[in-house]
Chains A and B, each alone.
Chain A
Amino acid sequence: MLEVKNLKKSYGKVVAVDGVNLRAGAGESVGLLGPNGAGKTTTVSIIAGLLRPDSGEVLIEDKPLRGDTDPIKRNIGLVPQDLALYDELSALNNLSFFAALYELDRARAKRSIGEALDLVGLADRAKHKVATFSGGMKRRLNLAAALLHDPQILLLDEPTVGVDPQSRHAIFENLETLKSRGKTLIYTTHYMEEAERLCDRIIIIDHGKVIANDTLHGLHRMLPVTNVLAIELENPEGLRTEQLLALPEIHSAEVRDGVLRVGVPQSFCGSARRPAMAHGAGHNYQHVASERPDLETVFLTLTGRSLRDS
Chain B
Amino acid sequence: MMISFGALVRKDLLLFFSDRRAVIVGLLVPIICGSFFGYLFGGQGGKSETSRMKVLFTDQDDSAISRGLFSQLAADKNLDVKPSALEIARTAVRKGKATAAIVIPKQFGVDAGRAFFAGEKKPEIGLLYDPSHSMELGMVQGILSGAVMQVVSKEVFTGQHGREMVKESLSQIEGNTRMATAEKSILRDLLTSVERWNEQQDRAHASGQDTAARGLTMPYATREEAITAGSNIQYNGYAHSFGGMGIQFILFMGLDVGVRLLLLRQSGLWQRLRAAPLSSTVLLGSRAVSAAMIAAFILFVLFGFARVVFGVRIQGSFVGFLGICAAFSLMTAAFGLMIAALGKTLEATRGYSVMATLLMVMLGGAWVPTFVFPPWLQKSTVIVPTRWAMDGLDAMTWRGLGLSAALAPIAVMLGFTLLFGSVAITRFRWEAEA
Contacts and interface: CB of A to CB of B under 8 A. Distances in A.
Interface of A: 11, 16, 41-42, 45, 48-52, 68-71, 73-74, 76-78, 80-86, 88-89, 93, 96-98, 100-105, 142, 145-146
A80 B271 CA distance: 7
B404 interface: no
Contact of B280 (A11, A68, A103, A142): A68
B269 A86 contact: yes
A75 to B, nearest CB: 10
Contacts of B279: 68-69
Nearest to B5: A100
B112 to A, nearest CB: 77
B270 to A, nearest CB: 8
B415 interface: no
Interface stretch (B6-14, B52-60, B300-308, B342-350): B6-14
B311 interface: no
A102 B268 contact: no
A85 B273 CA distance: 11
B47 to A, nearest CB: 44
Interface residues of B, number: 29
Interface string B7-37: 1101100110011000000000000000000
B135 interface: no
B275 A73 contact: yes
A93 B275 contact: no
Contact of A103 (B3, B268, B274, B434): B3
A78 B7 CA distance: 19
Given A41-B434, A97-B7, A49 B272 contact: no
A282 B272 CA distance: 54
Query: Chain A interface mostly helix, strand, loop or mixed?
Result: loop
B282 to A, nearest CB: 8
Contacts of B278: 68-69, 101
A11 B271 CA distance: 18
A79 to B, nearest CB: 9
B269 A50 contact: no
Contacts of A70: 277
Interface string B109-149: 00000000000000000000000000000000000000000
Given A50-B432, A88-B18, A82 B268 contact: yes
B1 interface: yes
B71 interface: no
Contact of A89 (B1, B4, B18, B280): B18
A89 B272 contact: no
A73 B277 contact: yes
A50 B431 contact: yes
A51 B431 contact: yes
A100 B15 CA distance: 16
B272 A78 contact: yes
A50 B274 contact: yes
A93 B274 CA distance: 19
B20 to A, nearest CB: 11
Contact of B268 (A69, A84, A89, A100): A84
A23 to B, nearest CB: 21
Given A11-B434, A100-B3, A80 B268 contact: yes
Given A68-B430, A98-B276, A101-B276, 6 more contacts: A68-B278, A73-B275, A78-B275, A84-B268, A88-B14, A100-B6
Contact of A81 (B268, B269, B276): B268
A82 B275 CA distance: 14
A142 B272 CA distance: 10
A201 to B, nearest CB: 23
A48 B277 contact: no
Given A41-B434, A45-B434, A84-B267, A89 B274 contact: no
Contact of B277 (A68, A93, A100, A104): A68
B174 to A, nearest CB: 99
A98 B18 contact: no
Interface in B279-338: 279-280
